[in-house]
Amino acid sequence: MLDLKYVLANFDEVAAKLARRGGSIDLTPIKRLGAERLRLLQESEALRQRQNAANEGMKALAKEGPEAMAGARAELKELSGRIKALQEELGGVEAEIEQALLFIPNLPAETTPDGKTEADNQVVRTWGEKPTLDFTPKTHDELGVSLGILDFDRAAKISGARFVVLRNAGARLERALVSFMLDLHTSRGYQEVLPPYLVNRASMVGTGQLPKFEEDAFKTAEADPQDVRYLIPTAEVPVTNLYREEIQEPGTLPIRNCAFTPSFRREAGSYGRDTKGLIRQHQFHKVELVKIVEPERSYEELEGLTADAEEVLKRLGLHYRVIALCAGDLGFGSAKTYDLEVWLPGQGAYREISSCSNFEDFQARRASIKYRPAPGEKPRLAHTINGSGLAIGRTLVAILEQGQRADGSIAIPEALWPYMGGLKEIR
C-alpha cells in the first residue's frame, strides 16, 4: 500500500510514476478524500481548542453560581457532540481512503526499465548454452506421458482440468527437487519453515493478493466471513505474514526464510493459455525465498536472492536467462522484478521459472511489518523481498525438455543423483 501522506504531498510525481505502468490508474478519488480528511481533522482540532478553552472557563464561572455554569455546560455538551460526529465522519472517510489505496499498485523503482508489455522486458544475462539436439524435440507432456510418469487423464477424472498425477520416477523426481532445493538454500543462510497452507483474509491483504485478485483465489465457504480461509497461492503469503504486526529489534534483520509448500491458483485470467502440460496448473509445488530487510540494503538483498534462485539452475545445468521486467509488466506489488526464464526445446521458447521481486515497503505498510534501527529509536517499515527458488513443476519441465534424448529417455542432472537413489536416467 502506498503512503497516503506521500501520495498527497507528491501527487503529480506519484501519478507520473504510476503512469509508467500503463493503463489508467485514477488517483482523483484519493486526492478528494484526502482533502476531505484534512478538512475534518482541522475542524475537529478547532472544536477541541474551543472545548479546552470552555473547560478552562468553567473554573472562573464556578464562582458566579449555578446559572452561569448551566450555559457553559450546554456549550460543552454541544461541542462534545459535534466533535463526536466529526470523528465518526472522519472514520468513514479514512476507511474509504484505505479501501481505495488497497487497489493502487506499487510505484516502479527508478531502475525498472520503461515499457508497456513483456516485449519491452530487458535481458540482463544468460547462463549456459542451448542444448543442441540432432532430433525434433518433444514437449514435456509428450515425454512424460510416453514414459508413464505424468498422468493427465486420471487427474482430470478425479479433479478436472489443469491437474496432474505424477508416477514412479516422476514422483521421485519431484520429491528429489524439493529436497535438493531446500538443502541448497539452507546451506546458503536461509532458515527453513513449514507454514500452514490455509490463511486468513488479513494475510492475503497483507501481501497484496486481496482485495484486487480475489477471483484468482480458492477459499473455504463459511457462513461467517471472519471464518473464511484461503488456500495459499504461494508460500510468500504465510511466510511474509509470520512477521505481520511485529517490530523486529535491532540486529535481527535481515531475516531470510525458505519454504516448500503447494500453491493453489484459479488462473482466472488465463483461460485458453497453457492448457496442456505442467506450465499453468491449479495446484503445484514451489520452494519460496522470503526476506525481511532494512530499506538501505533491500536492492542488494534482491540481487542476492536472485543469485540464490539462479544457483539452483546452474547446479542442475539448465540453460536460462535473467530478464528485468519493464514497468508495464510488473506485478501489482512489485517495485522491481527479475524473471528467470528457462529454455524449453519442445516449445522452442523461454518460459518463466521464477520471479524475484522487491516490494520495498508496499507489503510492510499493509501488514505493519516494522523494525527498530537502534535501541530506543522509533520503529520503521521494513522492506520485503521474495522469489521462487524454484517452481518445482516448471523445473521438472525443464529437466524433461533439456535432458531428453532421441530415444525418448531423460538424463537426470548429476546434482539430483543422490536424491534419486542413484538413478541417472528415466526410461
368 is in an annotated binding site: no
236 is in an annotated binding site: yes
56 is in an annotated binding site: no
Kind and range of the H or E run holding 342: strand 336-344
Three-state DSSP state, 381: strand
355 is in an annotated binding site: yes
386 is in an annotated binding site: yes
Amino acid at 356: C
Tell me phi and psi for residue 154, to 5 degrees. -70, -35
Angle between helices 169-187 and 298-316 (to 10 degrees): 140
168 is in an annotated binding site: no
Q: What is the DSSP letter of 106?
A: P
- Annotated catalytic residues are 265, 280, 352, 355, 394
Separation of alpha carbons 255 and 370, rounded Å: 12
Tell me phi and psi for residue 416, to 5 degrees. -95, -10
Separation of alpha carbons 154 and 174, rounded Å: 18
Separation of alpha carbons 343 and 410, rounded Å: 16
Cα separation values, 234 from 205, 289, 290, 338, 355, Å = 14, 10, 11, 17, 12
303 is in an annotated binding site: no
Three-state DSSP state, 369: strand
> Are residues 351 and 396 in contact, defined by beta-carbon separation less than 8 angstroms?
no
Q: Are strands 246-248 and 369-371 parallel, antiparallel or unpaired?
A: parallel
| Cα-based angle 86, 381, 16 (whole degrees, multiple of 5) | 75
111 is in an annotated binding site: no
321 is in an annotated binding site: no
354 is in an annotated binding site: yes
Separation of alpha carbons 157 and 165, rounded Å: 11
Cα separation values, 160 from 98, 156, 232, Å = 38, 4, 19
288 is in an annotated binding site: yes
Separation of alpha carbons 35 and 104, rounded Å: 18
Annotated binding site for L-serine: 234-236, 265, 288, 386, 388
- Going by the annotation, the residues of the binding site are 234-236, 265-267, 288, 352-355, 386, 388
Binding site for ATP, residues?
265-267, 352-355
